[in-house]
Homo-oligomer: A and B are copies of this chain.
Amino acid sequence: MPDSLKSAANGALEPFDRFVETILSFDCDRATRDAFRRLAYRISAEPGESMRLDDSRDSIVFMASGAAKLVAHVSDDRQQVVAFHFAGDLVSVPQRNAHAYELCALTHSVALAFPAAAYMALADAEPALLRTMIDRTLLALNRSREKSVALGRKTAPERVTGFIASMADRIGTREGAGCTIRLPMSRRDIADSLGLTIETVSRQFTDLRGEGVIETSGRSAVRVPNLAALRARAAGPNGPAD
């Protein structure tokens, strides 16, 4: 498949153009932009495929299109999805150390990868970009903290409800008081993200369906008739924590 066709599917934009538009959206001088272009390498991956990164050093990955999961491998039969990422996201993937991290495509994805050290060296010349990096890293940190709270202190029903609410915010399409979501990840991915098993996730979906909080059609489509009702359930039986 020629690149021209692929970029047409992505809104007629080359991955690097999308990167410039999303990340270098300040007054970035031409030389710097070209330096980033030379540093970047293009990655595309099909569903289930791992994004081939240089795992001998930290990487920074810009998701030009698609959806991916960042997975930490604990042992052969245990893995934890640390985060989900979608088009426009900037993902920091650490060099393999204590746990092996892997960025794995959920749908057909195109991304740009950079060696983190060289990327940061370039960014040093552009304070505006450094600010963007901080803001995005802080966003990732806050999401990660919220995940810790869920994994450490929430029940299975709360985790699943919270997950659906979060996906509604990130990739749902609003419809009045409700929302429709096309989930790109499998029940296993959801389970590995929430620290549960596929069976438990499935049972929670069934319960939510029974209570009319969600409707499903097929494996991936979820409709939330009333977002407020969903969020109320996600906070637990006592309501919001303040």
Interface centre among A79, A99, A149 (most CB of B within 10 A): A149
Q: Are A149 and B92 in contact (CB under 8 A)?
A: no
Q: Are A76 and B238 in contact (CB under 8 A)?
A: yes
B residues in contact with A124, CB < 8 Å: 127, 131
Q: How far is the CA of A226 from the CA of B241 in the complex (A)?
A: 42
Considering the complex, give the chain B residue whose CB is closest to the CB of A144.
B144
Copies in the complex: 2
Interface centre among A92, A100, A144, A152 (most CB of B within 10 A): A152
Q: Are B146 and A148 in contact (CB under 8 A)?
A: no
Residue A137 is within 8 A (CB to CB) of chain B in the complex: yes
Q: How far is the CA of A193 from the CA of B76 in the complex (A)?
A: 26
Partner of A153 from B76, B94, B147, B195 at Cβ < 8 Å: B195
Residue A120 is within 8 A (CB to CB) of chain B in the complex: yes
B residues in contact with A134, CB < 8 Å: 120, 130, 133-134, 137
Residue A64 is within 8 A (CB to CB) of chain B in the complex: no
Interface residues of A in 48-79 (CB under 8 A from B): 72-76, 78-79
B-contacting residues of A (Cβ < 8 Å)?
72-76, 78-80, 82-83, 92, 94, 96, 98-100, 120, 124-125, 127, 130-131, 133-134, 137-138, 140-142, 144-149, 151-154, 192-195, 236, 238, 240-242
